[in-house]
Amino acid sequence: MTFASLGLIEPLQRALDELDYKIPTPVQAQAIPAVLAGRDLMAAAQTGTGKTAGFALPLLQRLMMEGPEVASNSVRALVLVPTRELAEQVHESFRTYGQHLPLRTYAVYGGVSINPQMMKLRKGIDVLVATPGRLLDLFRQNAVKFNQLQTLVLDEADRMLDLGFADELRAVYAALPKKRQTLLFSATFSEAIRLLAGQMLDDPLSIEVSPRNVAASSVKQWLIPVDKKRKTELFCHLLKKQKWTQALVFVKTRKGVDELTELLQQQGINADGIHGDKPQATRQRALDRFKAREVQILLATDVAARGLDIDDLPLVVNFDLPIVAEDYVHRIGRTGRAGNTGQAISLVCADEVNMLAAIEVLTGQLLKRVDEQDFEPEHRVPLTDASGQVLKKAKKPKKPKIVGGGGKKTLGKWLESADEPSAPPVKAVRKVPSFNTGPKKKK
């Protein structure tokens, strides 16, 4: 199958040739003809499957072939994404795919001045990529109008709900024309997402390109049991022993990111960190440097790292397990992309056993446990099975074994004074507030 056989116009095919995309990925093969035909779409697609091109290419084509020229302050296609980084990344994809088309694209998000965004919107924008909060600010200040809107894309919809954007989505939804095309992409499908889809989509085509909630098989995953207070020490040990060339490391709290970054930098390691408290320009710079391989270790909270596309990332480390089990799938989806192989290592302490159990239920597989010599924990991580059962309570060891110093700074200490709440009991599928948006749209 070729992109030409999917019915894409020549300027798009030329852009794909220049990118050396030879054949459509499965999500593209299914999504492109459906979107071109004007259908609504509900797609379960992991990051790394080529889903961005799956919606961007047909959407650009429809904008070229149909509809009036964009009016001042109007948008013709709106792509909602959960984070600023993803807004930049998705916008960059639109720019690249649409480089031979006379369409205007733009990205708006919070954390940067709103005035230049208002100025830019004056001329009208064909494709606007936006985070929900900033889009609403702009809408309430009359800087953006939706009367010309023909397509809405919800990218990483599950993440938007997880991040608490349900109210913003409801407000945006209320402002949109009822007659429009809607495309919903989500890596995982919780009840809340299904509810959202039921309310926003009209007879959607369902696409599922990989088994639900299962990470790409090209990612080799395992966990290393460790005492909480020795995680930092183990991390530094593995970094040296395994000679990590580049790793994306997930840490639970912003403070944890800052402190581990500082510690690594003090040891002469080229590390940087991104989290929600950092200014957008700093986050983007750290990310750009990581992508350019100028940074060896990038530490991040989930919010900052969602959906990022980093070529050939060999390793993801879960310094802490995620509170929401679905985030595990997203995190490890940063590696093993576009056919490459990757590794995902989780450092797991006894306190995290409920999170581990939830991840294993979600992915339907037990995470292999690999002890690291001299780091076997005093507090054993209780055994789990893939049904969510914790099989054995942690036993107190008869004779505590003290190996190594652990240093002054331990993560345990950081988390006590952490700036984010500690983990609630974890369920495999988290319930989020219902998304009641009033009457279903008519086409």
Task: Give the footprint of ligand AMP on this chain (CB under 6 A).
Answer: 21, 24-25, 28, 47-53, 309, 337-338
DSSP category for residue 48: T
Distance CA 62, CA 29 (A): 17
Nearer to ligand AMP, 76 or 306 (CB): 306
CB 261 → ligand AMP: shortest distance, Å? 26
**CA proximity to 234, closest of 122, 151, 317:** 317
Nearer to ligand AMP, 96 or 282 (CB): 96
Nearer to ligand AMP, 49 or 384 (CB): 49
**Could you give the C-alpha distances from 419 to 155, 175, 258, 304, 425, in angstroms and in order?**
28, 35, 11, 16, 19
Evaluate whether 381 touches 225 at the Cβ level (below 8 Å): yes
CB 25 → ligand AMP: shortest distance, Å? 5
Please tell me whether residue 270 adopts helix, strand or coil conformation.
coil
Residue 365, token pair as written in the block: 């597989």
CB 309 → ligand AMP: shortest distance, Å? 4
CB 63 → ligand AMP: shortest distance, Å? 19
**Could you give the C-alpha distances from 306 to 158, 198, 243, in angstroms and in order?**
11, 25, 26
Nearer to ligand AMP, 49 or 301 (CB): 49
Distance CA 201, CA 41 (A): 7
CB 105 → ligand AMP: shortest distance, Å? 16
DSSP category for residue 135: H
Main-chain dihedrals φ then ψ at residue 119, nearest 5 degrees: -60, -45
CB 135 → ligand AMP: shortest distance, Å? 21
Polymer length in residues for the chain: 443
CB 274 → ligand AMP: shortest distance, Å? 18
Nearer to ligand AMP, 70 or 313 (CB): 313
Nearer to ligand AMP, 239 or 298 (CB): 298
HSE of 16 in the Cβ direction (CA atoms, 13 Å)? 22
Nearer to ligand AMP, 48 or 225 (CB): 48
Angle value at C-alpha 330, between 325 and 335, nearest 5 degrees: 135
Nearer to ligand AMP, 281 or 338 (CB): 338
**CA proximity to 440, closest of 248, 199, 253:** 199
Residue 179, token pair as written in the block: 């007659």
CB 12 → ligand AMP: shortest distance, Å? 12
